[in-house]
Homo-oligomer: A and B are copies of this chain.
């Protein structure tokens, strides 16, 4: 009996592994880049702009933020906010980037979304080639994480998402369907109003200053060409050379101090902001390929047909 159960377990596991590997196609970096560029050019984007936009989306897949990479080809998406901050950082500057977006964040006490995931990004260079990268939405989590819980068949933690009536839900399907996310901090008793405040601050920077649409004026997924998204962004670059000398050394000291703090669990060392992205970037670079969900590649195949572009080639 036990042997039978074990065998069934082993077979299930084998099947799952096969399914898993069959659903995770791998693509060479140059091939992803070629596909993105050709898609943009097929819709009339200039060669230069196509190259620039490809670099933006590719950076997200490189660093493990797949929700902002290949799956955003041809869309109206801003991409990964940190990319813009890092462009300034590569020039020796402190870079910052902000954008408003579509109404997914529900302010504390409200029952419907009105602010965007309105991300905040900051990057700065440290001595010895080190750097800091902050790149975060002002919601508790991105909608993509709710979607992942659906795939995993797991309940949502407290303070991630709400149902249609603004009540907290642990059911990822309910949270995904309602499109209502808690601000960073979650419920009011765990200071969710701070995430709401950050998102509102971002709104002031991105739409109030620039005259672009506010997040609540741009429903998610709206694609009417007569009514462009018209969202707003703010970019900041600060030259640390204008302030006290020794910026790079002091930042390197802080980064190293944080990384060397004693961890609660020795198998999970403390990271400095941006370490996760850097490590993912280095792994991708070394491997020379990016691994995608099968669905992603299927959707690219249909896009290729639509645009008359050579389909993406998986390994």
Which residues in A have some Cβ–Cβ distance to B below 8 Å? 94, 107-112, 114, 120, 122, 124, 132, 134, 136, 140-141, 157-160, 165-167, 184-186, 189-191, 193-198, 200-201, 203-204, 207-211, 214, 216, 238, 240, 243-247, 250-251, 253-254, 257-258, 261-265, 268-273
Contacts and interface: CB of A to CB of B under 8 A. Distances in A.
Given A140-B191, A250-B208, A261 B114 contact: yes
Contacts of A158: 158, 190
A181 to B, nearest CB: 11
A190 B192 CA distance: 11
A54 to B, nearest CB: 27
Contact of A109 (B200, B253, B265): B265
Contacts of A195: 184-185
A214 B252 CA distance: 12
A133 to B, nearest CB: 9
A194 B135 CA distance: 9
30 contacts: A107-B258, A107-B261, A107-B270, A108-B270, A109-B263, A109-B264, A109-B265, A110-B258, A112-B261, A120-B198, A132-B201, A134-B201, A157-B190, A158-B158, A158-B190, A159-B186, A166-B264, A184-B185, A185-B195, A190-B190, A196-B273, A198-B198, A200-B258, A200-B272, A200-B273, A204-B251, A208-B240, A209-B238, A209-B244, A216-B257
Contact of A211 (B108, B201, B246): B246
Contact of A110 (B160, B184, B214, B270): B270
Contacts of A271: 108-109, 193
B190 A250 contact: no
Contacts of A270: 107-110
A141 B254 CA distance: 23
A189 to B, nearest CB: 5
A253 B194 contact: no
Given A109-B265, A166-B264, A258-B200, A186 B190 contact: yes
A38 to B, nearest CB: 36
Given A114-B257, A210-B243, 17 more contacts: A109-B269, A120-B198, A122-B201, A132-B204, A134-B198, A140-B185, A159-B186, A160-B190, A184-B194, A184-B195, A185-B186, A200-B272, A201-B273, A208-B247, A208-B250, A208-B251, A216-B257
Contacts of A265: 109
B209 A112 contact: no
A160 to B, nearest CB: 7
Contact of A263 (B111, B253, B254, B257): B111
A191 B195 CA distance: 11
B200 A250 contact: no
A204 B9 CA distance: 51
Contacts of A140: 185, 190-191
